[in-house]
Amino acid sequence: MFADYLLLLFATEPRRAKAIYNVCRGRRTVSTLFAGLTYQQLAWLDSWHGVPLAKFEAAAQTLIAAGWLQAPTDGYLALTAAGQAQQAELQQRLYQPVAWQQFRQADVRRFTALSQLALQVVSEYSHQTKRYYPVTTDPGVQATVKRWFRQWRKPMIVTQVVTELHAFLATLAPTQATIFMNSVTGYDFPGQTDQQLATAFKRTPVEILVMRKDLSCQLVAWLRQQPTGPLAALVKPLVKANPVSTSAWQTYQAFQQTADLSQIATQRRLKLSTVREHLLETAILTPGFPFETILTPELLAPLTAVFGESASVATWRFEQVQSVAPTLDFFCFRLYQIMRCQRATA
Amino acid sequence: MQQREIYQLLKQKYGFDEFRPGQYEVIAALLTHQDVLAVLPTGTGKSLIYQFVGTVMPGLVVVVSPLISLMQDQVARLNYQGEKAVAALTSQVDFGTRQATLNHLAQVKFLFVSPEMLKQTAVLTALQTVKIALFVVDEAHCISTWGPDFRPDYLGLGQLKQQLGQPLTLMLTATATAQVRQDIVTQLQVPTAKQVVYSVNRPNIYLAVEQVSNEAAKRERLQQLVTTVATPAIVYFSSKKQTDLIAEWLRQTTGLRVAAYHAGLSAEDRFKIQQQFMTGQLDVICATSAFGMGINKADIRMVVHYHLPTTLADYVQEIGRAGRDGQQSLAMLLYAPGDEQLVRNLNELTAASTTQIQNDYQRFQHQQTPPDELAAVLQFYWEHQYSVAQVEALFTERQQQKQRELQQLLAYVQTTTCRRATLLAHFGEPKPSHTATCCQSAGSSLPLETLGLQAATKVEQTPITSWETLLDQLFLQKI
């Protein structure tokens, strides 16, 4: 069940439920990203793209009804003792994704759609069939695959694709490789649905779905390492040049030239608050962000004095430092929180 | 275009020597720029008509279609037949792709679109810039059956057609009573359209109805049917949940290859199940009525209704998916006392009380956005300057109509005379002569032997193939 995977994302200390849902749904607001960072869940960013908020809420309700989650304060959910035991059991039993951080680094969903049609096209081509029902009628996907196929269509394409696939599948556990191939659509083989694979492998359909998403991520990761074949060529344009939005990245580039945020705002015709949001987003998603360029020793002093000893970043309150240093603004406080999270995990 | 040339093109492009009943008549009329309402039985290749006309006439063929899954099927089928310039505008297509389609309309030959999408300004404006060869309303009976209280944008089609410069219009349906035909031509503002009406009768489909005492007995009878009658078979349900549950139960208890199909599945799973069924890898599909509108499988031997269809017209559509190869087939309706309550519940979903209608009018006057589906339907009427009294009358009439349709359906279920005669009478057709392969009279057993519809030997559920073997099978490396 979907709810089982949701339970894995909670802990005994209360977590902001909506932030967790939005991390999964790929909402990139600073507050969502920050929650993802503090809960160490950024790998889940965008992993359940397109799933409506209501589905998360309904799943959480079933977990509450089962006695595994409780709501200590409005908007927050925490594991109960029974929930903790259930979570531990699920961690053992459920398939656990290993490569979901690819969702952040490349457009995995697009790759899944493209590769599905591409594999069908190559399979049918290898059997010299021209009449077949395409697995997707999405015109964008069809056009991209058509261009790709034209570019790579040489007698060798079949061998090249098989070589790529074989090498990739050989890196997987046999069950996973079998699930991957059985879900492929090709010549005289429509492919098995998640429900059918679930029955065959004694898993739930959601587990198969999670596994297949993860297999897509693993394939993307593998193709990025082996960049010469035709399938790798499908991935290449989908790899994100930088981890944040284009606009935030431009702000960050300007920031590397000058630490004067007002100047960046004027230069980029943005509000100062937007510049700050961009920098927070970048700080959360980019390793090695130069925090000290903004957090000068004078600014750091009160922050370290108040929070230096406390590791539970999510529980800090801005008011605590405000009472000591009334001029310090929220931006610096949030940036310091991000710095501490990053350095704790590093 | 001369008759000789039309036949030449049929041979050259589709490889056929003959048209199916009604096809030629409709095509010939359209080629002389006459609007046509075609009522042709299911399985007579209605899509060939607009494909053919699209090939001959310059310009775009716009096909208004009711369901996303149906549009996807139609696009896939045209792709399969080698038509490349095909696009569908649905809510599932992302904004960028939709925009790209609209910007390149001149390169599109066939465009599938829902009535709701068609009325959007961006779509309408783009369509006004290209020449429309033919405006097709597929499943045109939806205008009459869905329009008033479910999808009122169907009622706006006539006006939209006007905004598109009154293009040549083809209205297609498999079943329409005289009343529904009248509704269609009135709503689409084509009173002089030529009507090509063929019988809805499908003599090779044996009509059966069995009364069972309760749900458990019905389930058991279904199990007997799928194991003793020839397959492939479709079993129709009115709820998604039942579809899933019974599919799984049948799979476990019969060893048959069974899958569920409904609108809750992903596009990928829908594709896979349809293709498995088409290529003979499934024996039974348990489905909601979402399945089958676009299905073109010739050898379906049995269609079972586990729940009542909503109307006799729907019933004829749904059983019409059986026996398209002309071979003997079976339509079985399983009825337990009280089943009609499910239909009533469904009908009530689209009902509206006087207070609801009045309150919603207040909402509209305060310029608030529609909060629910009913309000979204009513919004259409307020935007088209209907009065509260008019809308009330319309909703009352629609509920009465649905009540009458249910009675007609129950009359078919409970008849003690020839079922086929009862069915055809509903569509204003004469009584056929009753034979041994016509229909099952109340209480008698199924003459499976006479019909030649005994189950064949069961195909075992295929075990999972290893990845290495599949890689070899799917990709032939020696070419």
Tell me the backbone φ, ψ of residue A324, rounded to 5 degrees. Answer: -90, -40
Residue to substitute from B89, B97, B112, B272, interface A, most A β-carbons within 10 A? B272
Could A181 and B87 be called an inter-chain contact, meaning their C-beta atoms sit closer than 8 Å? no
* Ranges of chain B with pLDDT below 50: 479
Residue B136 has a pLDDT of: 96
| Res. A292: pLDDT tops 80 | yes
Asked if B281 has any chain A CB less than 8 Å from its own CB, the reply is: yes
Residue A130 has a pLDDT of: 85
pLDDT digits (tens, 9 = 90+) for A83-115: 999 999 999 999 999 999 999 899 999 999 999
Cα–Cα dist B464/B476, whole Å: 20
pLDDT digits (tens, 9 = 90+) for B283-292: 999 998 766 6
- Write the CATH number of the domain with boundaries B205-341+415-451: 3.40.50.300
Could B80 and A131 be called an inter-chain contact, meaning their C-beta atoms sit closer than 8 Å? yes
Tell me the backbone φ, ψ of residue A81, rounded to 5 degrees. Answer: -60, -45
Q: Which residue has the higher pLDDT, A343 or B301?
A: B301
For chain B, give the secondary structure using H, E and C. CCHHHHHHHHHHHHCCCCCCCCHHHHHHHHHCCCCEEEECCCCCCHHHHHHHHHHHCCCEEEEECCCHHHHHHHHHHHHHCCCCCEEEECCCCCHHHHHHHHHCHHHCCEEEECHHHHCCHHHHHHHHCCCEEEEEECCCCHHHHCCCCCCHHHCCHHHHHHHCCCCCEEEEECCCCHHHHHHHHHHCCCCCCEEEECCCCCCCEEEEEEECCCHHHHHHHHHHHHHHECCCEEEECCCHHHHHHHHHHHHHHHCCCEEEECCCCCHHHHHHHHHHHHCCCCCEEEECCCCCCCCCCCCCCEEEECCCCCCHHHHHHHHCCCCCCCCCEEEEEEECCCCHHHHHHHHHHCCCCHHHHHHHHHHHHCCCCCCCHHHHHHHHHHHCCCCHHHHHHHHHHHHHHHHHHHHHHHHHHHCCCCHHHHHHHHCCCCCCCCCCCCECCCCCCCCHHHHCCECCCCCCCCCCCCHHHHHHHHCCCCC
Could B473 and A189 be called an inter-chain contact, meaning their C-beta atoms sit closer than 8 Å? yes
**CB-defined contacts A:B, below 8 A:** 120
How is residue A97 written in tokens? 């994704």
B75 CA: distance to closest CA in chain A (Å): 7
In the chain, the amino acid numbered B199 is S
Most confidently modeled of A3-7, A298-302, B174-178, B426-430?
A3-7
Q: Are B329 and B206 in contact (CB under 8 A)?
A: yes
Cα–Cα dist B427/B199, whole Å: 9
**Residues A12-29, mean pLDDT to the nearest whole number:** 93
Q: Which residue has the higher pLDDT, A85 or A139?
A: A85
Asked if B96 has any chain A CB less than 8 Å from its own CB, the reply is: yes
Q: Are B93 and A138 in contact (CB under 8 A)?
A: yes
Asked if B475 has any chain A CB less than 8 Å from its own CB, the reply is: yes
In the chain, the amino acid numbered A188 is D
For A294-307, give the DSSP string: TS-HHHHHHHHHHH
Domain with residues A2-94, CATH architecture: Orthogonal Bundle (1.10)
Residue B411 has a pLDDT of: 94
Model confidence at A54, pLDDT cuts 50, 70, 90, reads very high
Distance of CA B196 to the CA centre of its chain: 19
* Partner residue opposite A139 with nearest CB, options B81, B101, B267: B101
Could B97 and A122 be called an inter-chain contact, meaning their C-beta atoms sit closer than 8 Å? no
Mean confidence (pLDDT) of chain A: 93
Residue B20 has a pLDDT of: 86
* Partner residue opposite A178 with nearest CB, options B275, B276, B467: B467
B137-176 burial string, b = 16+ CB within 10 Å, else e?
A: bbbbbbbbbbbbbebbbbbbbbebbeebeebbbbbbbbbb
Chain A residue numbers touching B283 (CB-CB < 8 A): none
Q: Rg of chain B over CA atoms, in angstroms?
A: 23
B308 CA: distance to closest CA in chain A (Å): 27
Sheet holding B329-335, edge to edge: B205-211, B329-335, B302-305, B233-236, B284-287, B258-261
A115 CA: distance to closest CA in chain B (Å): 13
Scanning every residue of chain A, which has its alpha carbon at the shortest distance from the alpha carbon of B244? A195
How deeply is A289 buried, as exposed, middle or buried, from its count of CB atoms within 10 A (0-12, 13-18, 19+)? buried
Range list for CATH 3.40.50.300 in chain B? 3-197, 205-341+415-451
pLDDT digits (tens, 9 = 90+) for B313-343: 889 989 988 998 999 999 999 999 999 988 8
Could A162 and B72 be called an inter-chain contact, meaning their C-beta atoms sit closer than 8 Å? no
Chain A residue numbers touching B473 (CB-CB < 8 A): 187-189
Q: Is A106 helix (H, G, I), strand (E, B) or coil?
A: strand
Could B75 and A196 be called an inter-chain contact, meaning their C-beta atoms sit closer than 8 Å? no
* Partner residue opposite B100 with nearest CB, options A137, A140, A191: A140
Residue B266 has a pLDDT of: 86
B67 CA: distance to closest CA in chain A (Å): 15
Could A123 and B475 be called an inter-chain contact, meaning their C-beta atoms sit closer than 8 Å? yes
In the chain, the amino acid numbered B140 is A
Closest CA to B334 of B258, B222, B443: B222
Report the length, in residues, of chain A. Answer: 346
Residue A194 has a pLDDT of: 94
Helices A139-152/A108-126 angle, 10° precision? 50
| Res. A11: pLDDT tops 90 | yes
Distance of CA B15 to the CA centre of its chain: 26
Q: Are B322 and B304 in contact (CB under 8 A)?
A: no
Model confidence at A346, pLDDT cuts 50, 70, 90, reads low
Scanning every residue of chain B, which has its alpha carbon at the shortest distance from the alpha carbon of A194? B269
* Partner residue opposite B76 with nearest CB, options A133, A140, A180: A133
**B3-197, which class in CATH?**
alpha beta
Closest CA to A195 of B92, B237, B264: B264
Chain B residue numbers touching A130 (CB-CB < 8 A): 82
Tell me the backbone φ, ψ of residue B255, rounded to 5 degrees. Answer: 70, 5
Range list for CATH 1.10.10.10 in chain A? 2-94
* Partner residue opposite A181 with nearest CB, options B75, B79, B471: B471
Asked if B100 has any chain A CB less than 8 Å from its own CB, the reply is: yes
Residues 174-233 of A with CB under 8 A from B: 174, 177-178, 180-182, 184-196, 199-201
Q: Are B174 and B13 in contact (CB under 8 A)?
A: no
* Partner residue opposite A188 with nearest CB, options B100, B269, B279: B279
Residue B379 has a pLDDT of: 87
Residue B479: CB atoms within 10 A of its CB come to 12
Q: Give the H/E segment covering residue A15.
A: strand A15-16
Residue B479 has a pLDDT of: 45
Q: Are B171 and B157 in contact (CB under 8 A)?
A: no
Asked if B456 has any chain A CB less than 8 Å from its own CB, the reply is: no
Most confidently modeled of A28-37, A176-185, B168-177, B178-187?
A176-185
pLDDT digits (tens, 9 = 90+) for A235-281: 999 999 888 888 999 999 999 999 899 999 999 999 999 999 999 99
Cα–Cα dist A170/B243, whole Å: 38
